[in-house]
């Protein structure tokens, strides 16, 4: 079920890179189609949204149906079971506590010349949250994308989810209500991203768009970046698990399956220095997956993108991990500290046998919106800072401009920018 690679053999790096890049090739660019959609929505607003809903969802409706009414929100959210409400409330509180600890602090100081220098954090005014519908309809997506914005101080949070003519998940609406979302729209796809970007009669224009989606949504977010901010362009979800002979193969198999059931393009990777463990995990994968409700999805994911890697020692395993730069990284080995210190590239790290990735998806506290496809080498997961703007402030004193001005002039003239130099000269010119 899992492809096997020996990390100690020649051409290992080449073979690994081929497998890692395979998903990128499959995820073909949708940019050409998406550009047309975006431009049409920009020009035609609600009319375009309704036309695309008719085309893609086979739904005929009016502009009045684009947005959930207050009564609809109240009625639908009330259908959420008490048990599920308690779990959502618990997750909300834990995620919020963690994100409150991320708050950046503005600062200012005076240097020895009396110049005032400062750094100021200001929340963006509005955010649009995209929540997938259909089989991937998760209240956890609402919480993870809204709470950092709430903590940052974003005043207006809006949400959209594919819901026209579809049965909506009440838990999504309950979570949105819990987060104080101002308006909820019933539109999905690339056209909803365009609507958030430019605004329509119904859709509010936002400063930043966050949230996961299919290939069209990802392409649309990439296309509108610059007109609005975005969180990231995320690919299919992934996990890498490092385990040694002390790990429980049953547990490791279940964690690989948990990732695989997300999507047929999800990637589950096991790395171990113990061949017996790898063999046991592969056996238990076959046993456990049989009764899985999402058997078809998980089996395709494991068959096409699942991978077992054998490598003889911790150092070589660590090198492989940092090269993969996984979205999620589970470490189930005796010497946890070695990896705690050595892992440089990973979206989120789960340490020890009692830390399955699933707890991070829901309520551990850290955000589950994480970099994928190796982008953990240069980017991070969603945080409060993603909803804050950073401003630098400079107030020069008379002494300051006089004492520092000559160096500014030297630098400006070196760069052949005489206008820059002169703007300082006029301020320090002696009578």
Return the CATH number at 307: 3.40.50.1980
Question: Has residue 121 been placed in a domain?
Answer: yes
Could you say which of 327, 330, 357, 368 is catalytic? Answer: 327
Domain-ending residue, one of 230, 248, 278: 230
Contacts of 255 (CB under 8 A, 6+ apart): 239, 241, 330, 356, 357, 358
242 shares a domain with 223: no
Tens-digit pLDDT profile for residues 53-89: 888 877 777 888 899 999 999 999 999 999 999 999 9
Active site residue 402: no
In the block, tokens 């490791």 appear at 252
Q: Supply the pLDDT for residue 62.
A: 82
How many domains does the chain divide into? 3
Question: Has residue 390 been placed in a domain?
Answer: no
Q: Supply the pLDDT for residue 136.
A: 63
Q: Provide the total of helices (H) and of strands (E) in the chain, helices listed first.
A: 17, 14
First CA to last CA distance, the chain: 84
In the block, tokens 């550009």 appear at 35
12 shares a domain with 108: no
Q: Supply the pLDDT for residue 271.
A: 98
Question: Has residue 373 been placed in a domain?
Answer: no
Question: Has residue 250 been placed in a domain?
Answer: yes
Q: Count of residues for the chain?
A: 431
Strands 3-6 and 328-332, sheet pairing: unpaired
245 shares a domain with 198: no
Q: Give yes or no for a contact between 175 and 143, defined as CB atoms under 8 angstroms apart.
A: yes
Question: Has residue 369 been placed in a domain?
Answer: no
Q: Supply the pLDDT for residue 306.
A: 96
218 shares a domain with 115: yes
Domain-ending residue, one of 187, 205, 230: 230
Q: Supply the pLDDT for residue 135.
A: 55
167 shares a domain with 19: no
What is d(CA 38, CA 27) in angstroms, rounded to the nearest whole number? 20
* Alpha carbons within 13 A on the beta-carbon side of 351: 10
For 104-244, strand residue ranges (E) read: 107-110, 116-123, 126-130, 156-160, 183-185, 208-210, 229-230, 238-243
110 shares a domain with 62: yes
Domain-ending residue, one of 357, 386, 409: 357
52 shares a domain with 23: no
Q: pTM value?
A: 0.93
Q: Supply the pLDDT for residue 26.
A: 53
226 shares a domain with 266: no
Cα Rg, the chain, nearest whole Å: 25
261 shares a domain with 312: yes
274 shares a domain with 248: yes
Question: Has residue 304 been placed in a domain?
Answer: yes
413 shares a domain with 328: no
Question: Has residue 371 been placed in a domain?
Answer: no
What is d(CA 81, CA 68) in angstroms, rounded to the nearest whole number? 20
Q: Domain range for residue 304?
A: 3-27+235-357
Q: Supply the pLDDT for residue 167.
A: 81
Could you say which of 238, 328, 330, 368 is catalytic? Answer: 328
Tokens standing for 148? 């950092």
Question: Has residue 377 been placed in a domain?
Answer: no
What is d(CA 245, CA 238) in angstroms, rounded to the nearest whole number? 23
What is d(CA 351, CA 331) in angstroms, rounded to the nearest whole number? 5
What is d(CA 162, CA 211) in angstroms, rounded to the nearest whole number? 13
Q: Give yes or no for a contact between 193 and 217, defined as CB atoms under 8 angstroms apart.
A: yes
Active site residue 420: no
> What's the gap between Cα 17 and its chain centre?
23
331 shares a domain with 224: no
Q: Which parts of the chain register pLDDT below 70? A: 24-29, 134-136, 430-431
């Amino acid at each position: 079920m899992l492809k096997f690679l020996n990390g100690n053999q020649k051409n290992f790096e080449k073979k690994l890179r081929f497998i890692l890049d395979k998903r990128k090739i499959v995820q073909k660019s949708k940019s050409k189609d998406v550009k047309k959609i975006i431009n049409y929505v920009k020009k035609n607003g609600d009319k375009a949204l309704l036309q695309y809903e008719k085309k893609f969802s086979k739904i005929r409706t009016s502009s009045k149906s684009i947005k959930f009414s207050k009564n609809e929100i109240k009625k639908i959210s009330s259908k959420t079971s008490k048990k599920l409400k308690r779990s959502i409330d618990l997750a909300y509180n834990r995620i919020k506590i963690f994100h409150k600890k991320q708050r950046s602090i503005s600062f200012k100081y005076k240097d020895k010349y009396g110049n005032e220098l400062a750094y100021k954090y200001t929340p963006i005014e509005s955010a649009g949250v995209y929540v997938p519908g259909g089989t991937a309809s998760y209240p956890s997506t609402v919480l993870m994308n809204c709470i950092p914005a709430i903590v940052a101080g974003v005043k207006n949070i809006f949400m959209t989810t594919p819901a026209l003519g579809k049965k909506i998940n009440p838990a999504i609406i309950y979570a949105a209500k819990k987060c104080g979302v101002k308006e909820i729209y019933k539109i999905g796809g690339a056209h909803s991203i365009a609507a958030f970007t430019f605004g329509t009669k119904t859709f509010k224009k936002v400063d930043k768009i966050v949230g996961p989606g299919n290939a069209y949504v990802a392409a649309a977010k990439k296309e509108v970046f610059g007109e609005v901010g975005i969180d990231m362009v995320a690919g299919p979800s992934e996990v890498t698990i490092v385990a040694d002979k002390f790990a429980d193969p049953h547990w490791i198999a279940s964690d690989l399956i948990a990732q695989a059931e997300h999507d047929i393009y999800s990637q589950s990777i096991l790395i171990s220095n113990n061949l017996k463990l790898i063999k046991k995990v592969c056996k238990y994968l076959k046993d456990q997956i049989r009764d899985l409700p999402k058997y078809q999805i998980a089996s395709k994911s494991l068959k096409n993108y699942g991978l077992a890697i054998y490598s003889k020692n911790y150092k070589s395993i660590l090198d492989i991990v940092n090269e993969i730069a996984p979205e999620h990284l589970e470490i189930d080995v005796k010497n946890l500290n070695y990896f705690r210190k050595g892992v440089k590239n990973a979206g989120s790290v789960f340490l020890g046998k009692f830390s399955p990735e699933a707890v991070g998806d829901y309520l551990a506290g850290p955000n589950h919106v994480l970099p994928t496809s190796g982008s953990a080498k240069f980017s991070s997961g969603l945080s409060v800072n993603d909803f804050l703007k950073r401003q630098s402030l400079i107030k020069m004193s008379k002494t300051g401009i006089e004492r520092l001005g000559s160096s500014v002039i030297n630098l400006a003239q070196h760069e052949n920018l005489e206008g820059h130099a002169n703007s300082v000269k006029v301020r320090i010119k002696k009578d």
